[in-house]
Structure 1
Amino acid sequence: MTPVASARGPIDPRLVRRSRAVRAYLVVSIVLATLVAGLVVAQAWLIASVVSDGFEGSGVTEAVTTALVALAAVVAGRALLGWLHTVVSARAAVQVKQQLRSEVVAQLLGGSPGSTASGSGTASVSSAVSSSSAVVTLLGPGLDKLDPYFAKYLPQLVLALTVPAVVVVSVFVADPLSGVTIAVTLPLVVVFMVLVGYVTRDRTERRWRALVRLSHHFSDVLDGLVVLKVFGRSRNQTKGIAEVGERNRRETMGALRLAFLSSFVLELVASISVALVAVSIGLRLVEGHMTLMTGLFVLVLAPDAYLPLRQVGAHFHDSAEGRAVADDVYAILDAPAGRASRFPAGRASGFPAGRASGASRDHPTLAGATITLEEVSVSYPGRTTPALAATSLTLAPGQVTALTGPSGCGKSTLVDVLMGFVAPTTGRVVVRTADGTTYDLADLDLTAWRAELAWVPQVPGVLAGTVAGNVRLGAPDASDRDVLAALRDAGAPDLHPWRDVHEGGANLSAGERRRLAVARALLRVRRGGAAVMLLDEPTAGLDPTSEQQVRRALRDARVTVLVVAHRRALVADADAVVPLPAPLVVVS
């Protein structure tokens, strides 16, 4: 495989632009490679000197002994430089991976669906992305595939840029004919690298995509294992996992076959090229037109002109998956601040591509503000019906508005629009402050916007830690008394604040997770400065007593509340009810 086949060139410019570690690494690599090139020439000259003096001279003389000591020092120097190059490469890989992981996490923490902090823009994480097996694979074993890129490919690439040039010049000075031969045949290695690379480039990327699909499928099966078990369908998934795994195996073996073939092709071309030089030297040595010293020097040095290029081709398959991973990473990092773009692995994150965070320095306060949706609709590519039909509604300050309608009519999508997770396909969201100033949500800083929202998603997120720690995500400075009051008003007096919470809330029931999320939202209103509450089915799965407590807490919050509701009692408490129509079903 070959770097020349890449549309971006052998070195990904995005890594160079965004990482100081890569820039420093390239500078150090060039210095080390230059020193190695000098030692390669010195080693060839010393070997030729020792052999020619030993056979043509008086045997092991003082000069030969000195040359042998110098040769040992040169070999030790090359080994030391190789070790230094390996150390520098490993450290650069660690620093780059750490930086990319931090940047991806920071990008995803900019606010997204599935937040673990109800309404907290700075602590929210996308359920569509962060819980996606694609991102788990990307940030875990995916980024680890950059190790071969730095440890094997880039060092050889730098050597390929310096060593052949120094070798060709040295050979040309010693023997112009051999220098011309090497200079003419070297491009053949590059040509074959390009030809092989065009064939193998897509295969390696397909192998990475196959691995991502396998992780997707396995994660989806695990997520739905309980449902599959209940309905007796779990055994049928074995075949599906086996088929996806077999596809991954075929892609892996195909990539390995092509990698071995590419190495064979490059070795063959390099061997023929060196043979041409060797035949020319042998004929001239026999005819007496060349000294043994010059012949040995050129013959020993000639393979080193091709070796770095062969190694680049041989190691490029080690780096190709790392480059495919880098594409996925930068697809997230190059999205506007606070949101991830479409994830290339085939699963869309659901983030809009527009409205960069920080588009407006003047951010309104939502206390006393009126929020209006004007003919807002949302459509996704590939769907024949909109996720949310054109809808208009007004959220009056201090009032509770209930959003009703059958499943699939777009209630949760409307909440996502208000949270800034989804950009409207048509229409707009208008904010009119208490002093009469009007703003468009598309022009606001989404981080500041979400800082004034308290959010309870349909599937509340929970972090490993304690109950109190999860409640405080909405207001980190809240006291223990505030936490206890929020839990009590959310109908969760039985949830002890210091109770341990396992990862993902595995040791909490669905009702306990929902009441914890409601308590988090209430605390955010009381101590976190939120002026608007957005709740998606906050009483689903709760007993009548807990439901009544939550309803009372929402009425007493005295902020603007939008609640997605199916239960009659929750709808009856609302000041305004907005029904959404059933989605249209298009029969083709």
Structure 2
Amino acid sequence: MKPFDPRLLREVPATRAPIGLLAVAAAAQGAAAIALAFALARLVTDVVAQGNWERSALWALGAFVLRGVLGMFVDRMGAHTATAVSSALRRRVLSRWIEAPAEARPDAEEATTLAVQGAEAVEPYAARFLPALVAGVVVPVLAVGALVVVDPLSALIVVVTLPLLPLFAALIGRTTEDDTMGRWRALEQLAGHFGDVMRGLPTLVTYGRARRQVEVVRAVSDRHRMATMRTLRLAFLSSAALELLATISVAIVAVTVGLRLTHGSISLEVGLLAILLAPEAYWPIRRVGAEFHAAADGATAIDRLLAPTSCPAGTSRRAYGPNDDVPAGQEVEVVGVEYAYPGTETKVLDGVSLVATGPGLTVVTGPSGVGKTTLLDVIAGLRTPSNPPRISQVHYVTQRPFLPDGTLESALRLGAPTGRTTSDVWDALRRIGLWEFVAGLPDGLGTRIGDDGFGLSAGQRTRVALARALLSDAPVLLLDEPTAHLDGDAARTVVDVLRELAAKRRIIAVTHSPDLVAVSDEHVHLAPTFAELSS
């Protein structure tokens, strides 16, 4: 766990400008603190000597105002930087997971924890720890440099005692790292178990096992609570230790200054400057130690979010732009493909071949669990088998198609070329049998739907996804059970549309529907492997 990971600037360029501006502001704030010490020492000396204290008071007031304005700017800039950094990290990790094959993606529970709690944990790291880190590097150097000019003996004491603070902070930080990792593991276990319970809740209620999960969730929550409390106790103890070291070091400087003032070996102004500058040398490092514990989750989350993903060689494909003509004779070549799910040795696909040349409709059938959906995932490039297939650009309609939160029109245009007009959208709805339903809505295409198509039935979600496929110009369409959630009339409409599309595109559909099999040009039947039969 590094205090600052340079990968953050290298791999997420959007964070460079806000972090750079925040660093400059934090350094300027530290310089203003040094200037304030000089102004206060001069003011006290003028008051005691009955000099021109009015001018010194104006300088001190100006230094106070400057430091206050810079502090306010650092706070505001820190909040802006925190939002920018967390958002950029979340966008980066989500886009990387989307582009990666299934083997390189984390589990759903781990991904949720990183994308939600992990990105949020980065905000205090960016808002408070990064300014403290910059001040901890700049201000002690300025303070010691000023002390060397003003009072070399006090500078020597500070130089000798100052390394004790980062040394103790590093020793305590090692323990903090272990506790923080333990807390993250407990959080992932809690998120994973809670997600499993929520997904299986209908089954648990059916068999009367739902209430038992309350105690299990409570036990997992207690482990997370205890891990969090261990981290907090360590943070308080480490902050107290750093405060004690800094207090003793400043006291040593104050004692030597007092003795020399008593003997008259230094002036009052020099003594005041030494006493005012010494805490400025220790304070930023104390703050770094305190903020590091507060932002330890953020440092761990950044390390996890920026961890490299092992992405094996993906599917060989040629990309077509939205203005390109859809090729009429694309070849889908899947020869001898073998695939086993990550962490297992049993092959769900073992020597499967599928070769389709030119436009037409290919249906894939077989018993449930034989690997039909996995075959479509392989063709779409979502999974990487032993022998990657060669295909062109595809449009994939899964069994539960993705419909984002927004208007119905935005869901239909997802993945469609920019040149598609509203008339094209209505034509696709008419062909798929949804024209009357959408036209009858109060806002038509502007009707808002919830996340994952909330507000639509399963059949309506499927037909919206099929209309979106009609708007796409991909030469290959992959369909997983396109008629599964449709009634008889709607299913026949979809079959007719697919038969019409097959005259121009290559369609590969997984189905149990005999009507779709009857109108297909090619039929591939997957049989269970020997391992599945023996089990």
Structure-2-length-normalised TM-score? 0.84
Q: Which sits farther off after the overlay, 537-546 or 478-487? A: 478-487
Give the Cα–Cα distance (whole angstroms) in 2 for the partners of residues 291 and 145 of structure 1: 49
Specify whether residues 51 and 532 from structure 1 end up closer, same or farther in structure 2 by C-alpha distance, changes over 3 A only: closer
Q: Kindly provide the CA deviation profile for residues 83-121 of structure 1, in whole angstroms up to 9, marking residues without a partner as x.
A: 2222332333333344444445555665988xxxxxxxx
Q: Does 1:378 align with 2:339?
A: yes
Contact 1:54–1:64 under 8 Å retained in 2? yes
Please, which of 188, 206, 220 is the counterpart of residue 244 of structure 1? 220
Q: Does 1:415 align with 2:376?
A: yes
Q: Does 1:518 align with 2:466?
A: yes
Q: Does 1:165 align with 2:141?
A: yes
The offset of 1:468, in angstroms, is 5.5
Q: Kindly provide the CA deviation profile for residues 527-565 of structure 1, in whole angstroms up to 9, marking residues without a partner as x.
A: x32332211122224333433333333223223222212
Q: Secondary structure at the match of 2:344?
A: coil
Give the Cα–Cα distance (whole angstroms) in 2 for the partners of residues 302 and 104 of structure 1: 44
Q: Secondary structure at the match of 1:388?
A: strand
Other-structure match for 1:437: none
Please, which of 67, 70, 84 is the counterpart of residue 73 of structure 2? 84
Please, which of 287, 302, 318 is the counterpart of residue 278 of structure 2? 302
Letter aligned with residue 6 of structure 2:
P
Contact 1:491–1:547 under 8 Å retained in 2? no
Q: Secondary structure at the match of 1:430?
A: coil
Q: Secondary structure at the match of 1:184?
A: helix
The offset of 1:200, in angstroms, is 0.3
The offset of 1:410, in angstroms, is 1.7
The offset of 1:259, in angstroms, is 1.2
Give the Cα–Cα distance (whole angstroms) in 1 for the partners of residues 72 and 317 of structure 2: 47
Contact 1:37–1:167 under 8 Å retained in 2? no
Q: Kindly provide the CA deviation profile for residues 161-191 of structure 1, in whole angstroms up to 9, marking residues without a partner as x.
A: 1211121122233332221111011111111
Give the Cα–Cα distance (whole angstroms) in 2 for the partners of residues 380 and 169 of structure 1: 62
Give the Cα–Cα distance (whole angstroms) in 2 for the partners of residues 276 and 359 of structure 1: 72
The offset of 1:420, in angstroms, is 1.1
Give the Cα–Cα distance (whole angstroms) in 2 for the partners of residues 19 and 182 of structure 1: 38
Letter aligned with residue 482 of structure 2:
P
Other-structure match for 1:354: 313
Other-structure match for 1:259: 235
Letter aligned with residue 349 of structure 2:
L
Give the Cα–Cα distance (whole angstroms) in 1 for the partners of residues 13 and 354 of structure 2: 49
Give the Cα–Cα distance (whole angstroms) in 1 for the partners of residues 355 and 31 of structure 2: 75
Matched residue pairs, number?
522
Specify whether residues 497 and 530 from structure 1 end up closer, same or farther in structure 2 by C-alpha distance, changes over 3 A only: farther
Specify whether residues 54 and 480 from structure 1 end up closer, same or farther in structure 2 by C-alpha distance, changes over 3 A only: closer
Letter aligned with residue 492 of structure 2:
Q
Q: Secondary structure at the match of 1:383?
A: coil
Contact 2:413–2:468 under 8 Å retained in 1? yes
Other-structure match for 1:43: 36
Q: Secondary structure at the match of 2:162?
A: helix
Q: Secondary structure at the match of 2:154?
A: helix
Give the Cα–Cα distance (whole angstroms) in 2 for the partners of residues 422 and 517 of structure 1: 21
Other-structure match for 2:444: none
Structure-1-length-normalised TM-score? 0.77
Q: Secondary structure at the match of 1:368?
A: coil
Please, which of 223, 231, 256 is the counterpart of residue 280 of structure 1? 256
Unaligned 5+ runs, structure 1: 1-5, 114-125, 335-340, 343-351, 432-448
Other-structure match for 1:440: none
Other-structure match for 1:315: 291
Superposition pairs of residues 404-553 of structure 1, within 5 angstroms: 404-424=365-385, 426-431=386-391, 449-450=392-393, 453-465=394-406, 470-473=411-414, 475=416, 483=425, 486-487=428-429, 490=432, 495-497=437-439, 499=441, 500=447, 501-521=449-469, 523-524=470-471, 528-553=472-497
Give the Cα–Cα distance (whole angstroms) in 1 for the partners of residues 20 and 451 of structure 2: 43
Give the Cα–Cα distance (whole angstroms) in 2 for the partners of residues 586 and 383 of structure 1: 17
Give the Cα–Cα distance (whole angstroms) in 2 for the partners of residues 298 and 97 of structure 1: 41
Give the Cα–Cα distance (whole angstroms) in 2 for the partners of residues 372 and 32 of structure 1: 58
The offset of 1:193, in angstroms, is 1.1
Q: Percent identity?
A: 37
The offset of 1:478, in angstroms, is 5.1
Q: Kindly provide the CA deviation profile for residues 389-419 of structure 1, in whole angstroms up to 9, marking residues without a partner as x.
A: 2212212433332222232222111101111
Superposition pairs of residues 164-243 of structure 1, within 5 angstroms: 164-243=140-219
Q: Secondary structure at the match of 2:163?
A: helix
Contact 1:489–1:553 under 8 Å retained in 2? yes
Give the Cα–Cα distance (whole angstroms) in 2 for the partners of residues 330 and 359 of structure 1: 29
Q: Which has the higher helix share?
A: 2
Give the Cα–Cα distance (whole angstroms) in 2 for the partners of residues 301 and 220 of structure 1: 57
Q: Does 1:11 align with 2:4?
A: yes
The offset of 1:486, in angstroms, is 4.4
Q: Secondary structure at the match of 1:145?
A: helix
The offset of 1:304, in angstroms, is 1.4
Contact 1:484–1:497 under 8 Å retained in 2? no
Specify whether residues 454 and 319 from structure 1 end up closer, same or farther in structure 2 by C-alpha distance, changes over 3 A only: same
Please, which of 485, 510, 514 is the counterpart of residue 564 of structure 1? 510
Specify whether residues 321 and 242 from structure 1 end up closer, same or farther in structure 2 by C-alpha distance, changes over 3 A only: same
Give the Cα–Cα distance (whole angstroms) in 2 for the partners of residues 82 and 517 of structure 1: 52
Q: Kindly provide the CA deviation profile for residues 409-435 of structure 1, in whole angstroms up to 9, marking residues without a partner as x.
A: 2211110111111111x123135xxxx
Q: Which sits farther off after the overlay, 212-221 or 71-80? A: 212-221
Specify whether residues 25 and 556 from structure 1 end up closer, same or farther in structure 2 by C-alpha distance, changes over 3 A only: closer
Other-structure match for 2:84: 95
Give the Cα–Cα distance (whole angstroms) in 1 for the partners of residues 461 and 145 of structure 2: 72
Contact 1:534–1:561 under 8 Å retained in 2? yes
Specify whether residues 326 and 397 from structure 1 end up closer, same or farther in structure 2 by C-alpha distance, changes over 3 A only: same
Please, which of 141, 150, 162 is the counterpart of residue 126 of structure 2? 150
The offset of 1:485, in angstroms, is 5.6
Give the Cα–Cα distance (whole angstroms) in 2 for the partners of residues 46 and 513 of structure 1: 70
Contact 1:369–1:397 under 8 Å retained in 2? yes
Specify whether residues 381 and 31 from structure 1 end up closer, same or farther in structure 2 by C-alpha distance, changes over 3 A only: closer
Contact 1:491–1:545 under 8 Å retained in 2? no
The offset of 1:274, in angstroms, is 1.8
Q: Does 1:70 align with 2:56?
A: no
Letter aligned with residue 66 of structure 1:
R
Letter aligned with residue 437 of structure 2:
L
Q: Which sits farther off after the overlay, 229-238 or 363-372? A: 363-372
Give the Cα–Cα distance (whole angstroms) in 1 for the partners of residues 136 and 31 of structure 2: 14
Q: Kindly provide the CA deviation profile for residues 132-164 of structure 1, in whole angstroms up to 9, marking residues without a partner as x.
A: 565555455543333322321111111111211
Letter aligned with residue 73 of structure 1:
G
Q: Secondary structure at the match of 1:390?
A: strand
Specify whether residues 133 and 188 from structure 1 end up closer, same or farther in structure 2 by C-alpha distance, changes over 3 A only: same
Specify whether residues 291 and 365 from structure 1 end up closer, same or farther in structure 2 by C-alpha distance, changes over 3 A only: same
Give the Cα–Cα distance (whole angstroms) in 2 for the partners of residues 292 and 533 of structure 1: 85
Q: Secondary structure at the match of 2:295?
A: helix
The offset of 1:323, in angstroms, is 2.6
The offset of 1:288, in angstroms, is 4.2
Give the Cα–Cα distance (whole angstroms) in 2 for the partners of residues 226 and 510 of structure 1: 18
Superposition pairs of residues 52-71 of structure 1, within 5 angstroms: 52=45, 54=47, 57=49, 61-71=50-60
Give the Cα–Cα distance (whole angstroms) in 2 for the partners of residues 492 and 46 of structure 1: 76
The offset of 1:25, in angstroms, is 4.3
